[in-house]
Amino acid sequence: MKARVHVMLKNGVLDPQGEAVRHALGNLGFDGVSGVRQGKVIELDLADGTSEDTITDMCEKLLANTVIESYRVELL
């Protein structure tokens, strides 16, 4: 089985990289981009039957830093 973990900075946490990307899009002539948030996607190849709780545990312990990041698990 596979799972995909989406990690994003929490709302309210300033994302300077997203902001730089937003500026660059404006420089390329893409108007109307009012915000960019940059995160990461982590794909996991897992033993069949791995519980969602186990994946959540992986997120809490390593994949996301919950001080500044939120995560969402997508089972594929």
Residues at the site binding other proteins, with contacts judged by CB under 8 A: 13-14, 16-17, 20, 61-63, 65, 67-68
- Choose among 40, 76, 44, 38: nearest CA to 57: 44
Task: Report the nearest approach of other proteins to the CB of residue 29 (Å).
Answer: 22
User: Do 52 and 73 meet the contact criterion of CB atoms below 8 Å apart?
Assistant: yes
Q: Which two tokens stand for residue 8?
A: 């994003």
- Determine the straight-line distance between the first and last CA of the chain, rounded to whole angstroms: 7
CB nearer to other proteins: give 27 or 32. 27
Task: Report the nearest approach of other proteins to the CB of residue 23 (Å).
Answer: 10
CB nearer to other proteins: give 32 or 38. 38
